Amino acid sequence: MPRRAVRSLLLTPLLALLAVVGFAAAPAQAATWSSSDQWGNWSTGGYTLYNNIWGSGAGSQTIWANSAADWGVWANHPNTGGIKSYPNAKKVVGKKISAINSLTSNYSVTVPSSGAYNTSYDIWDSNYDYEIMLWVNKTGAVGPLGTSQGTVTLGGHSWTVYKGSNGANQVFSFIRSSNSSSGTVDIKSIVNWIKNTKGWFGDVTIGDVQFGYEITSSAGGLDFRTKSFGVSAG
C-alpha cells in the first residue's frame, strides 16, 4: 500500500477523535470569543461576559460568545458539593430604584437534564451589600441560602422567596415555582417589592444585572446555551 494511503488511514481515526473532543468543548462553528481562563472576560455592546470559575474543587470550563445574547458554556465540574462557577453576562444599570422607570430582561436557554445547577439572575446594588437572585430553572441537588419567606407572584412569575446572609451581604433568593427555559422578567417590580413592601433595603442604586449558570456539578462535561438575553433599563 502506498505510504500516503497508510498515513491517511492512520490519521482518519485521530481526526475523528479530535472532532468529537472539539465539539464537546465549543460551538460547532468558531465563536467570536472564547476563554478557558478562570476569570476570562469579554466586553461587547454594553455587556461583559465572564467565565467566573470561583468555587473550590472546580474542574475545567470554557465559555464562548458571539454576543451577550448568543453565548454558552461547556463545563466539566466533579460531582461534589459546593458551587464551582457562575459563568454570566452582565449589564451595569447604575441608577437608584426611584430613578428607574422600568427594568426588564428577557432570556432563552437550553440547559442539560443532568448535573446540579441553576439558571439565574444575580442582581446587585452598587455597594454589593444586597444580592437578589432569581432562579428561573434548577436541576439536581441545589438550593437557596436562607429561610423561606413564603410565595409571591411578581415580575410575571410565581416564586418562593428566601432571605439570608452569606456573611458579606444580604441575599434575597426568588425560586421560580416551575422550571422555565424562556421568558421576560419585570425586575423593577421585584426590587420595588423588596424596598416598599418588605423594607429589606432603601432606595439603593442598582448596579450589576447578571444572568448565567450557577454550576455545582457537571461531571463528564455538559453544555449550557444562552440563545437570547438582554436587559432594558428606562
Q: What is the pLDDT of residue 8?
A: 41
Q: Is 15 within a domain? A: no
pLDDT attached to residue 25: 47
Confidence (pLDDT) at 49: 98
Q: The pTM is what?
A: 0.88
Residue 160 lies in a domain: yes
Rounded-to-integer distance, Cα 232 and Cα 234, Å: 7
The per-residue pLDDT for 121 is 98
Cα(174)–Cα(117) distance, integer angstroms: 15
10 located within any domain: no
* 7: in domain: no
On whether residue 132 sits in a domain, the answer given is yes
pLDDT < 70 stretches in the chain: 1-29
Best CA proximity match to 117, nearest among 161, 84, 145, 148: 84
Domain extent at residue 120: 29-233
At residue 234, the 3 state secondary structure works out as coil
Q: Using an 8 Å Cβ cutoff, are 195 and 88 in contact?
A: no
16 in a domain, yes or no?
A: no
How many domains does one find in the chain? 1
